[in-house]
Structure 1
């Protein structure tokens, strides 16, 4: 009997130790701005699993698709209020809180490749600026990612800036609409969920939507058969951020794991999306009804010159927006990218 009792006690202690060893020290409920079926979200799920593995189970990330808890435009406030613990999202969604978020979130026409934006963020002062911008909201900016230079969906041939004149196009509010309006287009407010229907019914002729592979898989190119690829306008900043309170409670080694894991995430997303885009372009080229338009360097430069005038106008909307404008343009000039 005594031996049996000792064995039971031993098993109970072992069970407690086992449970303790596998219990996460820090649980993070993080909402993405991507739907669960997107490649972006799948890559983010792999990132969450890696963080758990790298931290030996001490960090447990519950990654939720867009709209699971709050709207995609409300995650910044939701983190501050403790409704969620973090987000992976397009920074530009918060331009309503400060135009600076719209400017750094998508400085239309500034970046021609994902490496340029990530170099600015990681080595050109972007990360430090985002840390400063998020501080008043009780949010810790962990790191930067992006997707890819977005394609452009169009029902009519677009070979340059002149073809934008009078074009009814869907574009998000803020700087994107402002730049296209300056180029002579007629921007239309339309949620992303209504782009396909809007194109089908002739409400719009074209759309600033997302990367080529996503457009292709969604059937956009089948109804808007004149896509522009590579894109010439949009490269959104995607930020990974968490509650400052949660961050401050973490030991330094876990903070380092999270920080470095985001750099790994950014490489994964940009690389896999580029591969997916290449496959989608090859597939689209097999369809005789689809004509892919690739703007010349001359036309891309024309569009950028228009965009540059609007950067400056947009920067006048807030002191923080002016900081973003000065920071980004300085980086572009110093690296011969302007």
Structure 2
């Protein structure tokens, strides 16, 4: 007969097998939604299953009930199991603990342990922040950003910048392009002049302001009321599925997009991030830290796929609601590009960090596999580094 020690060994082995199986199942599912599963052999973590684990209160920029927040909640529930109990994520929706534009301060000061933020909101904290996520007429599809963060070393540089705010950057999270919902038809570049439009600040708002738009900065929770009351004429916000869930089709009659070659002119890859307070991060074992980075990469693929599936179902609903989709012309896109490129360099030259990060962007955009720009496009501009 087995003694009690043998029974405990068998029980622990069974637990390890269950956890490893669960982790592999999640990662295989995520890999099926995107690229490669390089982390299927991740080791079991510690002996933390007997405790509640280290609590990470992570506030998202997503509002409750949206497909984005539901996907975040589902991922958060699995992390405790997938880290063998060492990490317990407590998800919170936009504005529930700190304001949307105060997430960085909240994480730095320890009010919360982590953020799942629209990375564009960093622009108000440091000039380099405008290059954490997409900006007008630059890197235009998700894999461009994977190349910039990966092959060209952007991840390490950005993590150093997060570190100045006492944070660890676990990775970017793919979301979607952004749409402009308008109460009036804007059928050409010139129609934007004089309109009051909500934008997320930074280089995006300044590019539109340079062509005559009256821009305003509002958190996501205030966009619908502003459109409903008519205090703004139009608003940039996220993609079709979430915007439909938020009711934008009830208060606007038009969606304004770029030409079919460039569906979104101003923010074609609206990234989010997962970042953790550095003091909390350092409490995790090195094995768990590695697994958390892998889980964020897997989450990015799952999140992007869930958003795109929801988008596919949302587009017909706009048509049924009588919302007209307006595509600007190639000429409009060319004129917007002329306005955008000077702003790239203006923001890049605000400080050394911004210039060095934008240099990584320039190298990526000139990569022959990407070919967003050529030397001729930027021959009249320089970086002050």
Q: 1:136 to 1:57 in 2, by over 3 A?
A: same
Equivalent position of 1:4 in the other structure: none
How far apart, in 2, do the equivalents of 1:119 and 1:297 lie?
Answer: 27
Q: Secondary structure at the match of 1:69?
A: coil
1:116 positional shift = 2.3
Checking the alignment, whether the CA contact within 8 Å between 2:55 and 2:89 is kept in structure 1 is yes
Alignment of 1:48-127 (within 5 A): 48-127=76-155
Cα deviations by residue, 1:27-58 (Å, 9 ceiling, x for unpaired): 22222222222211111112222322222222
Distance 1:260 1:193, change over 3 A: same
Which residue is 1:269 aligned to? 303
Deviation at 1:315, TM superposition (A): 1.8
User: Quick check: 323-332 or 245-254, which moved more?
Assistant: 245-254
Separation in 2, partners of 1:69, 1:26: 19
Q: Distance in 2 between matches of 1:50 and 1:251?
A: 18
Q: Structure 1 stretch 99-108 or stretch 234-243: which is displaced more?
A: 99-108
Change (3 A) 1:20 1:80: closer
Structure 1: 5+ residue stretches without partners: 1-6, 8-13
Q: 195-204 or 126-135: which moved more?
A: 195-204
CA distance in 2, matches of 1:177, 1:97: 15
Residue 337 (structure 2) pairs with residue 304 (structure 1):
yes
After superposition, the Cα gap between the structure-2 partners of 1:188 and 1:27, relative to the gap in structure 1 and judged at 3 Å, is: closer
d(CA) in 1 for partners of 2:201, 2:85: 41
CA offset at residue 140 of structure 1?
0.7
Shift of 1:297: 4.3
For residues 49 and 193 of structure 2, the distance between their equivalents in structure 1, rounded to whole angstroms, comes to 63
TM-fit CA distance, 1:224? 1.6
1:106 deviation in Å?
4.0
- Aligned pairs for 1:229-248 within 5 A: 229=257, 230-234=263-267, 235-248=269-282
Greater mean alpha carbon deviation, residues 324-333 or residues 221-230:
221-230
Taking structure 2 as the reference length, what is the TM-score of the superposition?
A: 0.76
Secondary structure in structure 2 of the residue aligned to 1:292: strand
Checking the alignment, whether the CA contact within 8 Å between 1:118 and 1:145 is kept in structure 2 is no
1:228 equivalenced with 2:256 (yes/no):
yes
The answer to whether the Cα contact below 8 Å between 1:152 and 1:231 also exists between their aligned partners in 2 is no
> Structure 2: 5+ residue runs without aligned partners?
5-10, 16-46, 258-262, 374-385
TM-score (norm 1): 0.86
Summarize the Cα distance change of 1:266–1:310 in structure 2 as closer, same or farther, 3 Å threshold.
same
Partners of 2:316 and 2:76 in 1: CA distance: 31
Q: Which residue of 2 aligns with 1:313?
A: 346
Q: Which string of whole-angstrom CA distances, capped at 9 and with x for unpartnered residues, describes residues 102-141 of structure 1?
A: 3323423323323322332233322112111111222111
Within 1, Cα distance between the matches of 2:265 and 2:103? Answer: 29
Moved more, 115-124 or 315-324: 115-124
Which residue in 2 is equivalent to 1:200?
228
User: 1:34 — aligned with what?
Assistant: 62
Q: For residues 276 and 297 of structure 1, what CA distance do their matches in structure 2 show? A: 28
Deviation at 1:310?
1.0
Asked if 1:283 corresponds to 2:311, the answer is: no
Give the number of equivalent residue pairs.
324
Change in 2 beyond 3 A, CA 1:107/1:129: farther
Give deviations 1:276-328, integer Å, cap 9, x for gaps.
Answer: 122111121233x3211233444334323321221111222222222222221
* Alpha-carbon contact 1:114-1:270 (below 8 Å) kept: no
1:336 equivalent to 2:371? Answer: yes
List 4+ stretches of structure 1 deviating above 6 A.
none
Counterparts in 2 of 1:295 and 1:25: CA distance versus 1, 3 Å:
same
> In structure 1, what is the Cα distance between the partners aligned to 2:256 and 2:245?
16
What is the DSSP-based 3-state SS (H/G/I as helix, E as strand, rest coil) of the residue aligned with 1:249? coil
Mean Cα deviation higher: 222-231 or 170-179: 222-231
Question: Root-mean-square deviation (CA), in Å?
Answer: 2.6
Alignment correspondent of 1:173: 201
Deviation at 1:258, TM superposition (A): 0.6
CA distance in 2, matches of 1:20, 1:131: 27
